[in-house]
Every structure is written in structure tokens, then in C-alpha cells.
Amino acid sequence: MDPSSLIHESSFPASNTSTSAYNLAEIWQFPIDSGAVTDSAPILGIQPAARRATYPQALPFADAPLPNNRDVSVEESTVTEHSGRSGGRKRRDSASEDESSKLVSTSSGNDMQDYNGKRLKVGGSKDENGELKADVEASSGNGNKPTEQCAPPEPPKQDYIHVRARRGQATDSHSLAERARREKISERMKILQDLVPGCNKVIGKALVLDEIINYIQSLQRQVEFLSMKLEAVNSRMNPSIEGFPTKDFGMQTFDASAMAFGSQAPREYGQGSQPEWLHMQLPNLSSYEYDYTSVLGGTFSALTNAYAALALTNAYGALALTNAYGALALTNAYGALTLLNLWCFTPRHLWCFGAI
């Protein structure tokens, strides 16, 4: 290590070591000391300038065809740096750590690092370092600029170009974009999984999509069914009594917010356990209904609990809910008797009168 570094120190001009070597060395910190240093060092020492000139062009293809060249040049740069300043290595490490931490803070950079790390572990430590280099350059490109502008000689400029080439490599940016896209998709899939009931246990994108499709279809079918049901109910309402203005309609008969947030009252009627089932719906009823209840209060009080329950659950619930047409026919059949003009509970009372 030491003798080779000494050789490089001697062969390089001072300005080169101060600027360019810093850049390269900052990037290629780890890999260098391993294999071919001692063998190839003398060769390098002979023609450093030529190497530098060819290096940028060679680099995009450097992974496969020219592994030796790249290793050697890298070693060269780091070694010179090493010999130039004794404490430089540590300083560089801390600097690169800072940069890597910066990268971690931005999501895309982090993703890329992870991704590259995963992919390149197979390939070997060399490539991993290469990716790290690319990351560092991406973040520190601006920081390096002023020093390079200050330094007159060519090699640093070439280094910069090489940085640009490495950075602007098409596959990298594409893979980065692809990575970001996949991240986004998986994130949204997770949201959807949380949204669709029973989808958390399902593993696999295709099955999750199946679940989502089924759920949406069921929801749409439900909407269709409910619209049929509402049509049945709506058509039952006599248009002649709908004289009252929409405001009243909105305010009183249909308490919009109450409906939106779903008071539990209507469902409890079906159980028929409340004797005051009539009075429970009073606050939301229109004035018509209120009058009606006061007029016919005696009749209703005469009704027993069981009677009301029968009327609600058997007659109306079963017929109207399961067979909307049935309910429609029912109301039509009793249309003659609908003198009470109350869509809300005329039919079912008529029905229960008829039933008993």
C-alpha cells in the first residue's frame, strides 16, 4: 500500500492531486485496496494522463468490458489522495456520510440506494461502490463546481464530465423513475387494502385487485338495488300531497343530516319491542303526519306491541324489501283506501288492518 502510493505521489502533478483526486477518491472509497493494486500500479504510473483521457468514455461500459482499467484508475486516485494528506481518508468518510445522510432524507435517493444495493449485491462490491459514487455525485455535484472552476487544469473538468455522463445515464434515471412508480403503486395498494374489508389477509397483487373489483361491483350493485327500492318507495308517495315546498321537505320530512348519519331508529322499529315506536319518529315527521297521529292517536294506542311488530316486520318489511314490485302492487291495490294521504305509514297500517 505504502510503496505504491508513494509511486503515484511522485508521478502526479501537485495540482491534480489536490482537486481531481479528491473528487474521485471521495467517490471510490471502499473497494480500492483489495486486489490488483500492486500489480498494475507501475503500469499506471507510466501513463496516467492517457488513462484519464480515456476513462470518461470507457466508464459507461466499464462494468463488463474494462474492469481492470476502472479498478486501476480508481486505485490511483484514492491512493494519491491517501498519500497527499494523512488524515484525508477520515475526513472524506465523514463527508460522504453526511452526503449519504442527506440522501436518506430525500425519499427518491433513498429508494435508489436501496434498490441499487439489492440489485448489485449479486454483481459484487465493485458495482455497489459505483452506485454509491453515482449517488454521491448526484447530491454533491453543485458542491464540487466552484473548486473545479477555480482549478485551471483539464483533468478536473473531465472528471466533472464523467460525473455528468454517469449521472445522465438513461438506464439509471429510468430505473429510478420506475422504482418511484412501483413504490407509489404499492403504497396505493396498501391504502386500498385498508379500505376494502377482508383484503388485508390476501397476499398478492392480483388477488388484491380481484378483491377490490369484487367490492366495487358489489357496491355498485347495492346502489342499483337501493335505487330500485327508492323508486318503489318514491312512486308510492302520492304526488298530490307533495304540495309543500322543498324547503320544508328538506327540513322536516327528510332531515338530511339525520339521514346522512343514520339514526338507528328505523331499524329498531322492525324489532317491535318499543311501545312508543310511533313517538320515536315524531321529531322528524312533517306536520301532516303529526296531525294525523293526533287525530288517530286513539286507534294507534289501541294497537298492541305485537301488532305493530307484525305489521312492520312481516307485512311491510318482507314484502317491500324483498320484492319491490310487490310493495308497489300492494300500494296500488290499497290506493282506494289511501284517503289518509300518508305515504309514510298508510300502507303498512292498511296492510295490518287487512291482515287482521
Partner 1 sequence: MKDESSGSSSANGRLKRSFAYRFISALSRIRRRRRPSSFYRGSRRIKRAADASMAYAVGSRRAWSRAILRRLRVTRPGSGRYPSTVMIKNQKKKKKKVPIILKPCESRAEKLRSLIPGGESMDLCSLLDETAHYIRCLSTQVQVMQNIADRLCS
Binding residues for partner 1 (CB under 8 A): 181, 184-185, 188-189, 191-192, 195-196, 205-206, 209-210, 212-213, 215-217, 219-220, 222-224, 226-235, 237, 239, 242, 246, 249-250, 254, 256-257, 259-263, 265-267, 269, 281, 284, 312, 316-317, 320-321, 324-325, 328, 344-345
Which lies closer to partner 1 via its Cβ, residue 216 or residue 295?
A: 216
Distance of closest approach, residue 324 Cβ to partner 1, in angstroms: 8
Distance of closest approach, residue 283 Cβ to partner 1, in angstroms: 12
Distance of closest approach, residue 49 Cβ to partner 1, in angstroms: 49
SS3 track for 160-190: HHHHHHHHCCHHHHHHHHHHHHHHHHHHHHH
Which lies closer to partner 1 via its Cβ, residue 181 or residue 279?
A: 181
Distance of closest approach, residue 119 Cβ to partner 1, in angstroms: 22
Distance of closest approach, residue 118 Cβ to partner 1, in angstroms: 22
Distance of closest approach, residue 193 Cβ to partner 1, in angstroms: 10
Asked if 347 and 331 count as a contact pair (C-beta separation under 8 A), the reply is yes
Which lies closer to partner 1 via its Cβ, residue 217 or residue 305?
A: 217
Asked if 103 and 113 count as a contact pair (C-beta separation under 8 A), the reply is yes
For residues 83 and 9, what is the distance between their CA atoms, to the nearest angstrom?
A: 7
Distance of closest approach, residue 313 Cβ to partner 1, in angstroms: 11
Instruction: Fill in the amino acid letter for 261.
Output: F
Secondary structure (DSSP) of 283-347: GGS-HHHHHHHHHTHHHHHHS-HHHHHIIIIIIIIIIIIH-HHHHHHHHHHTGGGGGG--TTTHH
Which lies closer to partner 1 via its Cβ, residue 104 or residue 230?
A: 230
Which lies closer to partner 1 via its Cβ, residue 256 or residue 355?
A: 256
Which lies closer to partner 1 via its Cβ, residue 55 or residue 277?
A: 277
Which lies closer to partner 1 via its Cβ, residue 231 or residue 291?
A: 231
Asked if 354 and 331 count as a contact pair (C-beta separation under 8 A), the reply is no
Distance of closest approach, residue 113 Cβ to partner 1, in angstroms: 22
Distance of closest approach, residue 294 Cβ to partner 1, in angstroms: 19
| List of residues 6+ apart from 136 with CB closer than 8 A | 26, 27, 96, 99, 100
Using alpha carbons, select from 97, 84, 108 the residue that is nearest to residue 30.
97
Which lies closer to partner 1 via its Cβ, residue 164 or residue 181?
A: 181
Cα-Cα-Cα-Cα torsion 6, 9, 12, 18, nearest 10 degrees, comes to 160
The three three-digit cell numbers of residue 321, written as one number: 324489501
Which lies closer to partner 1 via its Cβ, residue 54 or residue 218?
A: 218
Using alpha carbons, select from 304, 316, 254, 255 the residue that is nearest to residue 278.
304
Asked if 289 and 297 count as a contact pair (C-beta separation under 8 A), the reply is no
Which lies closer to partner 1 via its Cβ, residue 195 or residue 295?
A: 195
For residues 275 and 93, what is the distance between their CA atoms, to the nearest angstrom?
A: 81
Distance of closest approach, residue 157 Cβ to partner 1, in angstroms: 40
Cα-Cα-Cα-Cα torsion 326, 331, 335, 338, nearest 10 degrees, comes to 160
- Give the side-chain half-sphere CA count within 13 A for 261: 3
